[in-house]
A and B are shown apart, each in its own frame.
Chain A
Amino acid sequence: MFSITGLLTISGILFVAGAAALITRRNAVAALMGVELMLNAANLNFVAGWRYFWPERLDAHVAVLLVITVAAAEAAVGLAIILNLYRKFGTVDLEQIRLMRG
């Protein structure tokens, strides 16, 4: 079996990898994938917590299912936004998309 430390470490690595993707990648689709990674890191945390701290309760399962649902919806909306961005700017490079002057 995995120890809780190992699970949390994996979750941490996943989260940091997702965050790094989100803030460093210029491609909007890749940034969105970073967000998905971060969500899944959170899911892993929930499951690890359930397994080792409160195995008799179902809160964590509810939360994980909710996150998966939201992630799916978020991906759908996110991809739709990216599609619209591409139609408007002809690119999905985040560095080149800017409307605000400053």
Chain B
Amino acid sequence: MTIFLTFAQQQSWLIVALPVAAFLFIGFVIIIAGRGQELAKRLAPWVLIVCLAAALALALGALAGGLARGAGGEVSHAPEWFQLAPAAGEHGAAAPGAALRFVPTERIADWLPLPASMGESFARTLKIGTLLDPLSAVMLVVVLLVSLLVQIYSLSYIKRDEHPRFYLYMALFTTAMLGLVIASSLLQLFIFWELVGVCSYLLIGFWYPKPEAAKAAIKAFVVTRFGDLGLLFAVIFLWMGYGDLTFSHLAAQIGPAMAAPAALPVSLTVVAILLFIGACGKSAQFPLHIWLPDAMEGPTSVSALIHAATMVAAGIYLVARMFFLFEAAPMALIVVATVGAFTALFAASIGLAQTDMKKVMAYSTVSQLGYMMMGLGLAAPAAAFFHLTTHAFFKALLFLTAGAVIHAAHTQNIWEMGGLFKKMKVTAITCLIGGLALAGIFPLAGFFSKDKLLESALAAAMGLGPETISAGLGGLILLMALATVLMTAFYTARMWTLVFLGEPRSDGAKHAHEAPRSMQLSLLVLAALTLVAGFLLVPRLTALIAPAHHAALAPWMIWTLTGGASLLAVVGILWGYAAYRRAPATEPLAKLGWAYTGLVKLWWVDAFFTWLAHRVVLVLGRRARTFDKGVVDGLFVDGTAWLTGRLGVVMRRVSAGPLPGQLQYAALVIFLLAALVILGMSLTGLLPLLVKTAQIGGMR
């Protein structure tokens, strides 16, 4: 057993290599060699599922191995940088009240030596490797667990004819996501970051004959590109400043007390904000959130895995990973916390009025990601990561139940469903568990993690958060977070009531049937995880990534906050249930007037970007085209050709004419050249020299 744990720790690259193997096998053997064969189609999913199961075993081994070494009284070699927070105790991993310790394993190899020809300061070596610390070890397990369950679910959700291609993309995605998580350097992370983006594009456009799907894929790709540009600049600046992008090196070099090196072209705050822009793109934070709801055009299992549980959490992961940078540049935390809290409220409000079951969940995902970002901004990375983990479970569960419902009712519009509880009991109950967890009801997972985030907001409101965030701003953030709790509970209840209660409101809903066994299996496992993840092991594991910051809160405050938030959630749920119990013919929210219009119009953000593209970008583009056609092409390119042609016509007369004319022309040119040489010499001061030389010669 110990041998296995050590092996899993030391050879953690295998966790990434296994899905690569599945990808290559499905790609080369099944799709190319076994083209169209029934056996090949049956085999494709199982190749990936077996590889993922093996990788999950390794990941669990790696996690347990780190914990075992931390607990075994062994001399801990936790490097200094591992203490993420300045206020850490004697050991960064020893969070208050948790006896768990995790010893990180970092394995780094030289990858690419850069030649000295690029300048002495660039003669450095790019490194590649794996890093296992509490953050990556837990994240690996979460990614693999959800991925494995989604693959099992997809066995019956995706048509068999589409299996090879689907599982090919999924294998590539899982590879990329695991590579991103286990990366030991920022550059390595960036490479896999782009790779998950590509997979997201491929999978959103999985049903590409549908124009909406193709458009949504392009939209997702383009919008996230804006964020990626920020991340790329952050990577370049850090490379220029520190010359080594491994996290351990960066963390050792960037400390709150350390001055930024002279080679860093911008301040650390700017680097942190650029990095955050990258995270905004991937994690769908305002205003780059617009791609995520459209991404729901992909298959639901893709939405569950990529656009709810894993890839969209990569932005949170990135900020948590680089949190030492944000601590060294606390001004950036203001941006992170404000954008996060605003996104949470903003997206939750849009979620209130959505009629598409998947879109409700999509906006809910944006909102929950905003929560996590807020937690990071309030210097509570452990709470944010805790919420990331629980959210991965319950949101994947919600999406998978939505898939089952859509599969059964043949519609995505919640107004065309209804009465499905009787027909799909397993789905309805698991969906209820997921929904209650999302709303934050005791004792489900979401309750605990959301509570931790709210605690950090309360601490900030009392001026106990990061020093750059004033009590006023903290209070505002707390208010936004609490309002989000109410809205979350309301739209969750609205969705569940409309889908599962009342009478069927369409033919599809009338003839709905329970999901197949393999789908139910995934739902049940995820529901079980959602039930226990809030208090069993997960909080202690996630607390390892950083010690809690605000022990200063009195217990009665925390209890009041917890009670208040729970009360808000219950009120929201009852309100939502009461309003939609009878499935009213008109949307009760319509009474809100202009605000309802705003909700339906997505607060005009999408419209704004469309306006921006049409009225600004395209207009500027046309101007640029006119300039290009007129000046660059017309004046320079065509103009040069025209001038040469005209000169040729004139010259032809001379050179084809009789000899004296040609000779006269030659004499003229020689005269002009001589004049030019003499002029040039006199201008550069060489003429007196020439004259002097001639005089010296003359005197001899």
Contacts and interface: CB of A to CB of B under 8 A. Distances in A.
Nearest to A19: B667
B700 A23 contact: no
Interface residues of B, number: 14
Contacts of A97: 658-659
Interface in A1-47: 4-5, 19, 22-26, 31
Given A4-B698, A23-B663, 19 more contacts: A5-B698, A19-B667, A23-B667, A31-B659, A31-B660, A94-B659, A94-B660, A95-B658, A95-B660, A97-B659, A98-B656, A98-B657, A98-B658, A100-B656, A101-B656, A102-B652, A102-B655, A102-B656, A102-B657
22 contacts: A4-B698, A19-B667, A22-B663, A23-B660, A23-B663, A23-B664, A23-B667, A24-B660, A31-B659, A52-B698, A52-B700, A53-B697, A94-B658, A94-B660, A95-B658, A95-B660, A96-B658, A97-B659, A98-B657, A100-B656, A102-B655, A102-B657
A57 to B, nearest CB: 13
Contacts of A26: 660
Contacts of B422: none
Interface residues of A, number: 19
B653 interface: yes
B668 to A, nearest CB: 9
B569 to A, nearest CB: 94
Interface of A: 4-5, 19, 22-26, 31, 52-53, 94-98, 100-102
Contacts of A22: 663
Contact of A53 (B655, B656, B659, B700): B700
A4 B697 CA distance: 10
The majority secondary structure among interface residues of chain B is helix
A10 to B, nearest CB: 16
Nearest to B659: A94
With a 10 A CB-CB cut-off, give which of A22, A23, A26, A98 has the most chain B CB atoms: A23
B674 to A, nearest CB: 13
Contacts of A4: 698
Nearest to A102: B656
A96 B664 CA distance: 16
A26 B653 CA distance: 18
Contacts of A98: 656-658
Contacts of B660: 23-26, 31, 94-95
A91 to B, nearest CB: 12
Interface residue SS majority, chain A: helix
A96 B658 CA distance: 7
Interface in B638-678: 652-653, 655-660, 663-664, 667
Contacts of A96: 658
Contacts of B663: 22-23
Nearest to B698: A4
A26 B655 CA distance: 17
Contacts of B659: 31, 94, 97
B439 to A, nearest CB: 91
Contacts of A31: 659-660
A98 B654 CA distance: 12
Which residue, A22, A25, A53, A96, has most C-beta atoms of chain B within 10 A?
A22
Contacts of B697: 52-53
- Return the 9 tightest CB-CB contacts between A and B, nearest first: A102-B656, A100-B656, A23-B663, A102-B652, A94-B659, A23-B664, A95-B658, A98-B658, A94-B660
Nearest to A49: B697
A86 to B, nearest CB: 15
Contacts of B667: 19, 23
B278 to A, nearest CB: 66
A94 B664 CA distance: 13
A100 B652 CA distance: 10
Contacts of B698: 4-5, 52
B696 to A, nearest CB: 10
Contacts of B664: 23
A56 to B, nearest CB: 11
B661 to A, nearest CB: 8
A102 B653 contact: yes
Nearest to B666: A23
B695 to A, nearest CB: 11
A60 B192 CA distance: 79
Nearest to B654: A102
